[in-house]
Amino acid sequence: MLKSILVTGKNGQLGQSLQKVVIQNSELSIQHAFIFVGRDQLDLASPQSITDFFRSQRFDAIINCAAYTTVDKAESEPELADQINHLAVKQLADIAKALNSFLIHISTDYVFDGTNHRPYVETDKTNPINTYGLTKLKGEQAMQASGCAGAIIRTSWVYSEFGNNFVKTMLRLAKERDNLNVIYDQIGSPTYATDLAQVVLAVLNNEFSMLNDEDNSGEYEAVKIQNSELNIYHYANEGVCSWYDFAKAIFEISNINCQVNSIETQDYPTPAKRPFYSVMNKAKIKQQAGLVIPYWRDSLKQCLMQLEQN
């Protein structure tokens, strides 16, 4: 039986990347009916909008790609960030529980404080150091408390050929300046949104593969989903780098002659603090979803090729 999948945040980086992957993979359209919605149809900043949207609609799964992601601006708009990243997630989780839907929610490496000296595992203590990270953590906690079935996928340094991101900013600035100052003492793992989209779908299909439509009635399926656990996963591309390394790679691969100067975080003050080290251990999702994760430079090449073609 065809599964109905709601995807929020269709105009964001991950939302657009999911649409791209679905269009390119005809099998997905046979297995699932995807419904992509943006803020004009489902506004997570408005509790009433969420209530009204789900009043007459139900879905087998909800993929929440919508989020307040402007890290620095969140420091001056904490209520809005909290509504979108926390309270709206709580509302979606309660709805998923009531409708017996499977909820996939995207979270962030910024739930950690960056003081680790080894990659973070899913069970490590969280301790966000900025408003954005705090609101995302509260969203995770609300989803866990709801009792809904689902998965939380923490990711980091997301970029793509869509929207605003570090890669596109560097390419734009390189046209305007001969040299750039980029921070070298924040370490993490870039994530190509297309790779993340494929992982989201792998997690979804892994969950649905546990339900055999031919052998089980709809009633049995409902019980199965109700008893499903809520898992937390870490996902980013393989390898680690600093923002300085990332910028250097962008220009090297693109054959752009732009001098990149390394600076410390203290030389570039921002409203929001950033973790110095937010590398995540991906062993759990690799094992459970059978993933081979691409190296970050290889995925960066793919993104830059897409940008050039566009």
CA distance 49 to 43: 6
- 204 and 102 Cβ atoms separated by less than 8 Å: yes
**DSSP, res 264:** -
132 is catalytic: yes
Please name the residues in contact with 154: beta carbons below 8 A apart, sequence gap of 6 or more. Answer: 107, 108, 109, 111, 122, 232, 233, 234, 235, 280
Query: Which amino acid is residue 164, in one-letter code?
Result: N
Copy the structure tokens of residue 48. 């009433």
Given the residues 68, 110, 120, 132, the one annotated as active site: 132
Copy the structure tokens of residue 85.
């990243």
Contacts of 266 (CB under 8 A, 6+ apart): none
Backbone angles phi, psi at 175, to 5 degrees: -80, -20
Q: Which residues are catalytic?
A: 132
